[in-house]
A and B are shown apart, each in its own frame.
Chain A
């Protein structure tokens, strides 16, 4: 039996229509990760957070596919306005995770509804990026 992962699945229009459009137009930062099952490289729009001179990725929808992929293979690529940088992701927890998640909620108010549904910071996988 699969473990009970807390994950807010994005609606069809967001995952299949809007996200591919904003990736195509390079409108937002894009994370590229290797699929843990397919092995294919997968692109997904993200909102990286700069906090105390480090770059973090927070999964506002919980145990998202990209977070699970990064756990399996920590190598990825972050593309911002056409400039790409390779990184190694390190998952963080405890006090630092709480601080980063709190800062993320402050700086990205658009994710308010996801944090209303999943209020515990532990439910939001958080990664420090080492470039």
Chain B
């Protein structure tokens, strides 16, 4: 029983609510994206997870074999750097769809780079660099196109550039990826970009699935 007078109320409250809210949010995300309703309870949650895994697989086309990813990271394949450069260039020119394809591709390299330190984290830094620019430019785009949201968007931009996460690269990368994919999912960057959104970039979805 959660008692609001207990000095540990905040901690217990957040712990108790995070799981419930994460389940609800995950089903809501999948339902909005697929434009279908899911049955209540665990069965609906499982269907939503399956659909979102299908979306995650869809954005990784053309699929790269895990072995090839590790090999490219370990050999510091120039394609990784080039993908980062192309992604930054695309988003600077307002081509958000190409930029999202680029960050999704770089994310595969970043995970391999981070996990096994095959390249002293070089691929991760290329992905982080591209992700920073994409987050910055997409926020600027929304500021220009959604002036009625300027106040909260300025708050988010402030968090991106000077937030408490900038000294923790791993956390910063996750946050930036979450923000950009939240924006993509909203449809504010166009339907092409919406179809490139990664449902597992949302932090709360990780609580549900343990994925990432």
Contacts and interface: CB of A to CB of B under 8 A. Distances in A.
Contacts of B151: 110
Interface residues of B, number: 31
Nearest to A27: B155
Contacts of A25: 155-156, 159, 163
Contacts of A2: none
A21 B186 contact: no
Interface in B144-160: 146, 148-149, 151-153, 155-156, 158-159
A130 interface: no
B18 to A, nearest CB: 11
A65 B103 CA distance: 37
- Sorting the interface of chain A by its residue count into under 10, 10 to 19, 20 to 34 or 35 or more gives 20 to 34
Interface in A1-57: 11-14, 16-22, 24-25, 27-28, 32, 40-41, 45
Nearest to A28: B155
B89 interface: no
Interface string A87-106: 00000000000000000000
Nearest to A114: B148
A27 B158 CA distance: 9
B148 A17 contact: no
B149 A13 contact: yes
A75 interface: yes
Nearest to B164: A25
A16 B163 contact: no
B33 to A, nearest CB: 11
A93 to B, nearest CB: 27
B182 A14 contact: no
A41 B13 contact: yes
A40 B20 contact: yes
B192 interface: no
A19 B155 CA distance: 11
B156 A18 contact: yes
Contacts of A28: 152, 155
A55 B140 CA distance: 34
Interface of A: 11-14, 16-22, 24-25, 27-28, 32, 40-41, 45, 75, 77, 84, 86, 110, 113
Given A11-B149, A19-B152, 18 more contacts: A12-B186, A13-B142, A13-B187, A13-B188, A14-B149, A16-B32, A17-B186, A17-B188, A18-B149, A21-B156, A21-B182, A22-B152, A22-B155, A22-B156, A25-B163, A27-B152, A40-B21, A113-B148
